Amino acid sequence: MIPLHAMTLRAALLTSIALVAACAAPVAHWEKPGATQAMVDEAVQECRVQARLSPEQRVGTQLSRPGTAGAMDRIEEREGREAERFQRCMLGKGYSAKR
C-alpha cells in the first residue's frame, strides 16, 4: 500500500506538470469553413475524449517509481502521443489549427 503522503505528493506533481504544459503550449484555435463555435467546441470535446481513451501501446515492461525521471519521461511521452491523436482527430474532421 502506498502511503497517503506519497499519493498526495504524486497528485500534486502530476497536476503541476499538466498546468505547466497547458501554459507553455500556445492554444490553437480550430477553424473549419461553415462551422459555428458550438460545432468547433463539440469537435474539440469529442477529439479530447477520443485521444484520452485511445489504448496505449506498451513499449517495454520496465517500471519506474512515481516521481523518478523514468516515470516523468513516460508521462511526457504519453501526453505527447495524446496531443498527436487529438490533432489527427481534429484534422480528420476537416478543421485546421490557427495560432
| pLDDT tens, position by position, 13-72 | 555 555 444 444 556 799 999 999 999 999 999 999 999 998 766 555 455 565 566 667
With respect to residue 15, please indicate whether it lies within any of the assigned structural domains: no
Give the structural domain span for 92.
28-98
Separation of alpha carbons 48 and 53, rounded Å: 9
> Into how many domains does the chain fold?
1
- Please check whether residue 41 lies inside any domain of the structure: yes
Question: What is the rounded CA–CA span in Å between residue 86 and residue 92?
Answer: 10
Residues 6+ apart with CB under 8 A from 98: 28, 29, 30, 31
pLDDT 10s digits, 60-75: 545 556 556 666 788 8
Residue with the three cell numbers 463539440: 42
Domain-located, residue 21: no
- Whether residue 33 lies inside any domain: the answer is yes
